Amino acid sequence: MERDRSAPTLDGLAAQFVVQRPKLHAIAQRTLGSPWNADDAVQETWLRLQQADIGRIRNLEAWLTTVVSRVCIDMIRRRATWREELGHDLSGEAGSGTGTPAEREPASAVLLSEDLALALHVVLDTLGPLERLALVLHDVFALSYDDIAPIVERTPATARQLASRARARVRSVDVDSVREKRESAITAFLDAARNGEFGTLLQLLDSDIELRSDDTAVHLAAEGADHGAPLLGRRISGADAVARAFAGRAELATPIHIGGVPGAAYISDGVVHALYLFEFRADTIHRVSVIADPARLSGLLVDGAR
C-alpha cells in the first residue's frame, strides 16, 4: 500500500490522541476493572501509535480502539497466566461457556449502563478477555458486531456469541442486592473512619487490601490533613495500615455513585475534588483507588451524592 503523503504528523496525531484518550481509558477501565491498569493500557496504546506507520492509518479512532482493546486482551491473559502459576483457579475463558446463545438478541437484553457497570464489577474475573471486550464494546460503546469482529479476531457471529455468554453471566447478578450491600459497606466505612472506630474499619477491610492514590490526591490530602483528610500515600497495603490512614478522618467524603457503581467523593462547592473507587472481595473492601487528577476525573461519570 502506498504511503499517504497527506497523512498527519506524529504531533498532529498526538493532539488527536488527547481527544480520544477519555474513550480509550473508559474502554480499558471497563474491561480491566482498574483505573491503574487502564492507565497502563492507554500508555501502551500511545507507545504503539508512536511506533506505527502513521501514513497507513486511515481512521485513527478505529485504530486506537482496536489497539487499546488488544492491549487489554494481552494484559488479561498475562494476569491469567500469573494467577495460574500461583495455583489460582480461573474460569470463564472465552470459548469455555456452556449453552447456546440466542441467535437474535432483543433490545431488552442490553442492561442499563449503570447496572452493567456494577454487574461487571462482580463477574469481571469470571469472564474471558474476548467475552469482556465483546460485551463492553457492544453494550457500552455501541459498536456493531461487524466492527467488533476484527478487534477480537473472530467472525461477527462469534463476536455476538462472546457477548451473549458474557451478558448471560452479567444478567445473573442481583444488581439491586449488590448495590445495596456495597452502599451499606461504603457508608459504614466512612462512618467508622470519621468516628475513629479502628476495630470496625478492620472488620470492613480485606486483610490484603491495597489503597492507591494518584499524585494529586496525595498532595490534596497532605494539604488537608489538619482538617481531617485521610493520610494518603501512593500505595498503602494491608488492613492495619489502611485503617490507620482513615481512622478519625475522611470527614468531608460523602457516598456517591460513579457511573452507577457505589463509591465516595470529596465534594466542595459542587465541585468533585477527589473520588474514592472501591473494589470488593466477597463482602469486604479489597481495593480503594483515590483519584484527584482533573484529567482523570473528567473521564469518570459521577452521578452525584446520594
What are the tens digits of pLDDT across the range 230-260?
999 999 999 999 999 999 999 899 999 987 8
- Asked if residue 295 has pLDDT above 70, the reply is yes
Residue ranges matching CATH 3.10.450.50 in the chain: 175-305
* Angstrom distance (rounded) from CA 35 to CA 44: 14
- Asked if residue 280 has pLDDT above 70, the reply is yes
Residue ranges matching CATH 1.20.140.160 in the chain: 10-171
- Asked if residue 92 has pLDDT above 90, the reply is no
- Asked if residue 110 has pLDDT above 90, the reply is no
The average pLDDT across 287-299 equals 87
Confidence at residue 301, expressed as pLDDT on a 0 to 100 scale: 63
Confidence at residue 239, expressed as pLDDT on a 0 to 100 scale: 97
- Asked if residue 202 has pLDDT above 90, the reply is yes
Confidence class for position 113, pLDDT limits 50, 70, 90: low
Least confident of 22-26, 85-89, 278-282: 85-89
Q: Which position has the higher pLDDT, 82 or 276?
A: 276
- Asked if residue 88 has pLDDT above 60, the reply is no
Tell me which fold the domain 175-305 belongs to: Nuclear Transport Factor 2; Chain: A, (3.10.450)
Confidence class for position 303, pLDDT limits 50, 70, 90: low
- Asked if residue 183 has pLDDT above 80, the reply is yes
The average pLDDT across 37-62 equals 91
Which CATH number applies to 10-171? 1.20.140.160
Q: What percent of the chain has pLDDT over 90?
A: 61
Confidence at residue 300, expressed as pLDDT on a 0 to 100 scale: 67
The average pLDDT across 159-165 equals 96
Query: What would the pLDDT profile of 62-87 be if each residue is shown by its tens digit?
Result: 999 999 999 999 998 887 554 444 34
- Asked if residue 89 has pLDDT above 60, the reply is no
Q: What percent of the chain has pLDDT over 70?
A: 84
